[in-house]
């Protein structure tokens, strides 16, 4: 049994089987899928980074070009586009995600290397590889044309490089025993490499630079304690330059096309001529915290009718307020287009609600959003309702559905719990690793805080934190550390 679980090939085969199961049994798509497909098709066939808007090819900057470039490559190789090419896209994403599993295993091995115990490093690698390969929450996103597998891969790879850089601040020859790289500048080289990788990741998901912010804070603590402020500036500059070098072609394209300096994407995904529904979004922020509510309200905006009776009761403070919302929606439902007057009316309701529930809106709802996106059963792509509570009622209505949802709910808790426990053990067992643990935890906190500010808090956005969780969980399962050799 020990030989089986130490075999990387078997772990990858098991991971391949799980991902093929999702791709063949539960292929999915989302609203963003069609958007990416349009951009990729126009880019490949018309050589314009654009969408079809009312029959007109319109250049856009709604999404960074990483994933459309991947789709265009698959389209060129397969000779198919759009929906006809989705199977090929998903099969390619399986390969990308399995590569991501190897990166996660490598991250776990790097963390274990700090102890100087080669046997423990190998065990951590094997355990992390199995945990990553059999993780259904990342595996099922190979079955939908979205950026998740790429965001996870590039975040995991950049994290590996940054962990090495942080370790080299205290031990310059960390992982450099057989390298010809100059020891004195190894931290700067690693920081530059991390910036380049984060830049590539940003081409897939624009919030990826949060990783560099967390790293800059961790480096600051280390270098300020060493009274090396100038060295910290050079490290931060190296990371920033690396990221900007990769983003510069995209920025230049936006400057030429839209006459604006846009390194990432606009804050709000609107086409030219569309209003930004600031009032509507402000009203949402006073009550929305679950992804299921997104299906009922915001994701219908400008596309489907919105039924006031489907909106949760917490969105209204009184019957009179509900009637005001109903009146606005009645006007909106006539042509399914939110006008500025209707948006302003929602904004007025939001301004009235905010003073009455300031604590709940600014602290309570973000806190609940954070809990929801971390501890959801993550069944958005599966053909099940995902309802756990009330237990008795859900069991009577559909016991199989509820049973599978509960299984995924507890499995998610296990992954998150093992990662958190592993972080605590790493912190306690090795003073040399505390800066690394602080960096990993800080990134997850920063990302979570950022996600709570979004209009639609989707659980998939925290999947990029799973490489860190799995790598730290592997340390916990790999065995106890020798405190004397790791401090």
User: Can you tell me the distance from the alpha carbon of 412 to that of 460, in angstroms, rounded to the nearest whole number?
Assistant: 12
* Same structural domain, 218 and 282: no
Same-domain status, 146 and 25? yes
DSSP per-residue letters across 139-172: HGGGGSSSSHHHHHHHHHHHHHHHHHHHHHHH-T
pLDDT of residue 180: 47
Same domain, 45 and 187: yes
Contacts of 260 (CB under 8 A, 6+ apart): 254
Give me the pLDDT at residue 14, please. Answer: 96
C-alpha 37/C-alpha 238 separation (Å) is 35
- Closest C-alpha among 357, 376, 194 to residue 283: 357
Query: What one-character-per-residue DSSP string does 174-191 give?
Result: TT-TT--S-GGGHHHHHH
Residues 354 and 464 in one domain: no
| Radius of gyration (C-alpha) of the chain in whole angstroms | 24
Same domain, 245 and 285: no
**Segment (H or E) for 328:** helix 319-335
At residue 271, the pLDDT reads: 64
Q: Are 437 and 422 in contact (CB under 8 A)?
A: no
Angle (deg, nearest 10), helices 186-202 and 66-78 = 70
Question: Is there a domain that residue 112 lies in?
Answer: yes
- State whether 125 and 214 are in the same domain: yes
Spatial contact of 67 and 147, defined as CB atoms under 8 Å apart: yes
Whether residue 389 is contained in a domain is answered as no
My answer on whether 118 and 222 are in the same domain is yes
The predicted pLDDT at position 455 comes to: 80
Question: 287 and 252, same structural domain?
Answer: no
The tally of CA atoms less than 13 A away on the side-chain side of residue 151 is: 24
**Separation between Cα atoms, residue 141 and residue 374, nearest integer Å:** 16
Asked which of 332, 356, 374 is the last residue of a domain, the reply is 374
Answer yes or no: do 289 and 235 share one domain.
Answer: no
**What pLDDT score was predicted for residue 448?**
95
Using an 8 Å Cβ cutoff, are 108 and 77 in contact? no
- The range of the structural domain enclosing residue 107 comes to 2-261+405-486
Burial class (CB in 10 A: 0-12, 13-18, 19+), 296: middle
266 in any annotated domain: no
- Other beta carbons within 10 angstroms of residue 441's beta carbon come to 20
Q: Which of 328, 357, 374 is the last residue of a domain?
A: 374
When divided into structural domains, the chain yields a total of 2
Q: Say if residues 283 and 346 touch (Cβ distance below 8 Å).
A: yes
Strands 56-59 and 50-53: antiparallel
415 and 333 in one domain?
no
253 and 356 both lie in a single domain:
no
268 is a domain residue: no
In-domain check, residue 204:
yes
Q: Along the chain (487 residues), what's the average pLDDT of each consecutive run of 10 residues?
A: 76 96 92 91 93 84 94 95 94 97 95 74 92 94 95 96 88 56 69 96 95 96 87 94 96 91 80 78 90 86 89 91 93 90 93 90 92 86 69 64 82 94 89 90 95 86 95 84 43
Joined together, the tokens standing for residue 136 give: 């259904």
In a domain, 379, yes or no: no
What tokens were used for 369?
């959003």
Last residue within a domain, chosen from 322, 352, 374: 374
Asked if residue 383 is part of any domain, the answer here is: no
Terminal CA-to-CA distance of the chain, rounded, Å? Answer: 33
251 plus 311 within the same structural domain: no
Give this prediction's pTM: 0.89
DSSP label at 59? E
Examine residue 231 and state whether it is found in any structural domain, yes or no. yes
């Amino acid at each position: 049994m020990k030989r089986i679980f130490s075999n990387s090939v078997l772990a990858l085969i098991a991971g391949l089987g799980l991902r093929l199961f999702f791709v063949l049994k539960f292929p999915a798509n989302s609203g963003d899928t069609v958007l990416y497909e349009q951009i990729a098709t126009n880019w490949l066939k018309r050589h314009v980074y654009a969408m079809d808007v009312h029959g007109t090819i319109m250049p856009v900057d709604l999404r960074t070009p990483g994933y459309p470039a991947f789709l265009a490559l698959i389209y060129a190789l397969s000779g198919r586009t759009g929906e006809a090419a989705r199977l090929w896209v998903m099969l390619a994403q399986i390969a990308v995600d399995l590569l991501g599993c190897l990166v996660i295993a490598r991250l776990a091995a790097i963390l274990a290397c700090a102890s100087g115990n080669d046997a423990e490093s190998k065990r951590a690698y094997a355990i992390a590889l199995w945990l990553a390969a059999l993780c259904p929450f990342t595996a099922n996103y190979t079955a939908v044309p979205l950026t998740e597998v790429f965001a996870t891969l590039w975040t995991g790879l950049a994290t590996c490089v940054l962990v090495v850089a942080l370790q080299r601040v205290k031990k310059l020859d960390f992982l450099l025993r057989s390298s010809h790289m100059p020891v004195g500048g190894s931290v700067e080289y690693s920081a530059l490499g991390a910036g380049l990788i984060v830049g590539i990741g940003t081409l897939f998901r624009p919030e990826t630079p949060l990783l560099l912010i967390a790293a800059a804070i961790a480096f600051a603590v280390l270098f300020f304690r060493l009274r090396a402020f100038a060295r910290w500036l050079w490290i931060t500059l190296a990371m920033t330059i690396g990221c900007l070098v990769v983003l510069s072609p995209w920025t230049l394209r936006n400057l030429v096309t839209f006459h604006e300096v846009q390194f990432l994407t606009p804050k709000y995904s609107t086409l030219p001529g569309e209003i930004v529904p600031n009032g509507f979004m402000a009203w949402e922020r006073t009550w929305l915290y679950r992804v299921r509510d997104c299906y009922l309200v915001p994701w219908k905006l400008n596309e489907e009718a919105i039924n006031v009776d489907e909106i949760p009761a917490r969105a209204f403070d009184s019957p009179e307020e509900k009637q005001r919302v109903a009146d606005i929606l009645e006007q909106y439902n006539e042509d399914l287009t939110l006008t500025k007057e209707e948006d302003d009316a929602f904004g007025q309701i939001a301004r009235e609600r905010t003073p009455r529930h300031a604590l709940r809106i600014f602290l309570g709802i973000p806190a609940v959003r954070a809990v929801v996106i971390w501890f959801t059963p993550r069944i958005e792509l599966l053909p099940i309702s995902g309802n756990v509570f009330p237990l008795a009622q859900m069991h009577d209505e559909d016991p199989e559905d509820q049973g599978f949802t509960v299984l995924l709910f507890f499995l998610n808790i296990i992954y998150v719990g093992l990662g958190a426990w592993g972080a605590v053990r790493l912190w306690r067992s090795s003073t040399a690793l505390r800066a690394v643990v602080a960096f990993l935890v800080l990134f997850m906190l920063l990302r979570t805080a950022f996600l709570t500010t979004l209009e639609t808090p989707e659980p998939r956005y925290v999947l990029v934190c799973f490489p860190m969780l799995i790598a730290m969980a592997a340390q916990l399962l790999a065995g106890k550390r020798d405190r004397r050799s790791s401090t």
